[in-house]
Amino acid sequence: MKRICVFCGSSTGARPSYARTAVKLGKILAKRQIGLVYGGGNVGLMGLLADSVLEHGGEVIGVIPRFLAHKEVAHQHLQDLRVVESMHERKGLMADLSEGFIALPGGYGTLEEFCEIVTWAQLQLHHKPCGVLNVDGFYDKLFEFLDRAVADQFLKASNRKLVRCSADPEELLDMVLSSPLAAEEKWVSRDPR
């Protein structure tokens, strides 16, 4: 079975569309028999996504650090909840278990996890596709930043394409399940000027 790792918020956010999209993505994953790998929480978009996959008969693997599990945010109805010792171990295991990655709306944690996994792709540590579910334009400013990074030569245009984007869960899932884009060597210039 293929598995997709989804990074998302431990809050449901201010707009109902965020929750609706998380639930819709969960249903689509289950319908298409694609397993979910996620942060193991029962709160926010994380909990809604996992519950949706479970409700529609899909596979869910949660990966949560012990210190968060002890705060009682761990999802108690998963068939497979893996408790690890650190955030670093969590991200490594989630990456190992997955064939691709999607970011839903979220805060610092979501952005950090997604950016790290894209950085690993840029460094050619993996060749798994990465995508952003851009609900209601949530990530528009991130893409403006990436375009600026290309324009100012901090990011190669070819590596800018490592992040796929759609507002539609079905379309994004198709993009993420398609063949991965190969990263180009990340260094734009070795000229110290």
pLDDT tens per residue, range 39-68: 999 999 999 999 999 999 999 999 999 999
Q: Which of 3-7, 70-74, 114-118 has the lowest mean pLDDT?
A: 70-74
Whole-structure pTM value: 0.94
* Confidence at residue 184, expressed as pLDDT on a 0 to 100 scale: 75
Task: Report the DSSP pairing between strands 35-38 and 163-166.
Answer: unpaired
Is 48 contained in some domain? yes
* Beta carbons within 8 Å of 168's beta carbon, 6+ residues apart: none
Is 188 contained in some domain? no
Is 189 contained in some domain? no
* Domain, as residue range, for 153: 3-177
Number of H helices, E strands in the chain: 8, 7
Q: Does residue 171 surpass a pLDDT of 70? A: yes
Burial class (CB in 10 A: 0-12, 13-18, 19+), 60: buried
Is 183 contained in some domain? no
Is 42 contained in some domain? yes
Is 32 contained in some domain? yes
Q: Name the domain count of the chain.
A: 1
* Confidence at residue 172, expressed as pLDDT on a 0 to 100 scale: 96
Report the C-alpha gap between 162 and 80 in whole angstroms: 30
What average pLDDT does the segment 113-118 reach? 97
CATH code of 19's domain: 3.40.50.450
For 121-153, write each residue's pLDDT tens digit: 999 999 999 999 999 999 999 999 999 999 999
Is 20 contained in some domain? yes
* Confidence at residue 178, expressed as pLDDT on a 0 to 100 scale: 85
* Confidence at residue 190, expressed as pLDDT on a 0 to 100 scale: 58
Computed over every residue of the chain, the mean pLDDT equals 93
What average pLDDT does the segment 70-92 reach? 93
Is 158 contained in some domain? yes
Predicted confidence band of residue 186 (pLDDT cuts 50, 70, 90): low
Q: Does residue 189 surpass a pLDDT of 70? A: no
* Confidence at residue 71, expressed as pLDDT on a 0 to 100 scale: 80
Report the C-alpha gap between 84 and 32 in whole angstroms: 29
Q: What is the CA radius of gyration of the chain?
A: 16
